[in-house]
Structure 1
């Protein structure tokens, strides 16, 4: 089961005790994946189609709990390249369909199909708890979350820009930044930051998925920190080795051309020590001197040897091998 399916399975079991929140969640599901059918004699039917059984189960439970009406459920097995099963949950009786549509404010007093997308005036979204329920229903109907082991991405796909802006506004009202992008024929509300996806899971009341995501984030951050430290240490080792190799080349060149007798005692001492201990760090070289010398002192002497070798190469270019 994908992470997205796990989240939807968890949300399908989360049922708000308040009727107004249940209505808000029904409104979101109908708005994102519902259909309203009107017969020739002006009779209404309301249905949703979904490939996710958890979503169908949640919608069925919400309708039963909120309205206690008759609901028809059918499952159709796909064929060919589309082998996923499609669940249809329908309210087929006109009176029951009207009760649902009136409660979720998808029909006006004159019987016209209409949706108020205003965040300030839509009575379905007056309370914060109802906003949470609406976001939860919208995600169940048309949302997805990527596998956090790979990357962070949360989205809700909307058929219209107005609906996308409504969802974005609801998420922003919870203090979470969300953006909109046009993808093919859908306006997609999305979140890409891991910490913000944690926040939206909290808004939708999915604590199990939230903890799983947090644990993955912690492990990824630890792995990233360890990798950065290893890379840094590797770079330092490479730098130290390269410096030591260059120092050895310079010292050998001085020995084979001018000879160590031409060097002052302190430079001759460090030159001989570096040849004897090519793998030693500057600190180890300094501690091996008598008397001991600090890293900066060792580095200063080796730099002087490097400068001398460079001068010798300029004076005797034909002797360099």
Structure 2
């Protein structure tokens, strides 16, 4: 299984509340669905090569859609013999798409999600956008394996307007997506910086993928540093890295179980810094915390990580 498919299966395995489930489906349906008008019936076809993704999409549709749903499996005749799982929704499709805020009734077509039209608090709006982008990534996203030296994440669109819409939406959150026109019917939104790829995976709640990505990246960086710097203290570097990765795993467990609200603001900020700096020493983290307005000592950093470790132990794997 490719790294990109693992990321998608992790993203869709989350439990979504109703509003977030709608936002996720909006992103997935907009860029995956085929709308069919046949004999007075409205049909919407969704597909995936992953059984896990198809099952979860089916569950979300069953929860949100009142019509009939059919499932079928086809197998290609290529050397890989890949199976394609297809979900067909039959019934009042336009009403369903309208409830997802992606239906243009005057032109009878699926449009981009317009979260700004939804009257919610700023934090809730951000969560809707994150869920929407999670759906978009599962539909048309791809990311290189962290084992390669070429960091690359992309989203493929058939319309330039959609590509520009996604770039504007994501760049408002500090990303630096660019658009590449591959041909007349394919527009690629991409980022290549390792930190941007990692941040996007966090944006769509793929924290296990973030850990895999960062582990490989940091291990490679450490290896390169060892080769470049003759006087590096390898023992201390490895010890700091091992400690950092263990703490990132603890933080990931807390995040996956929605336990961050149990931590203080200072501890939450330390968690963010640790994820961004897996091999930083306690002295370096102390300096970073103080630079960001959180007065703390090296022993204070140690105490916060003890609290984080204790909270992590409360959750099952």
Question: Common fold, TM-score beyond 0.5?
Answer: yes
| Match of residue 81 from structure 2 | 83
| Match of residue 131 from structure 2 | 133
| Match of residue 316 from structure 1 | none
| Match of residue 156 from structure 1 | 155
| Match of residue 103 from structure 1 | 99
Q: Distance in 1 between matches of 2:78 and 2:206?
A: 35
**Structure 1 residues 119 and 191: alpha-carbon distance in aligned structure 2, compared to 1, 3 A threshold:** farther
Contact 1:12-1:57 at 8 Å conserved across structures: no
Shift of 1:209: 0.7
| Match of residue 182 from structure 2 | 183
Shift of 1:39: 2.0
Aligned-pair Cα RMSD in Å: 2.6
Q: Rg bigger for which structure?
A: 1
**1:87-122 Cα shifts (integer Å, max 9, x gaps):** 111102x23x23321112333445722415666457
Gaps of 5+ in 1: 233-321
**1:247-266 Cα shifts (integer Å, max 9, x gaps):** xxxxxxxxxxxxxxxxxxxx
| Match of residue 213 from structure 1 | 213
Q: TM-score under structure 1 normalisation?
A: 0.65
Runs of 4+ in 1 over 6 A off after TM superposition: 122-126
Q: Distance in 1 between matches of 2:182 and 2:105?
A: 35
Q: Distance in 1 between matches of 2:191 and 2:15?
A: 25
Question: Is 2:14 aligned against 1:29?
Answer: no
Q: Distance in 2 between matches of 1:123 and 1:79?
A: 48
Q: TM-score under structure 2 normalisation?
A: 0.65
Shift of 1:74: 0.6
> 2:142 aligns to what SS in structure 1?
strand
Deviates more, 1:114-123 or 1:97-106: 114-123
| Match of residue 108 from structure 2 | 112
Gaps of 5+ in 2: 233-317
| Match of residue 3 from structure 1 | 3
Q: Distance in 2 between matches of 1:167 and 1:15?
A: 24
Q: Distance in 2 between matches of 1:117 and 1:105?
A: 6
Alignment of 1:168-207 (within 5 A): 168-184=167-183, 185-207=185-207
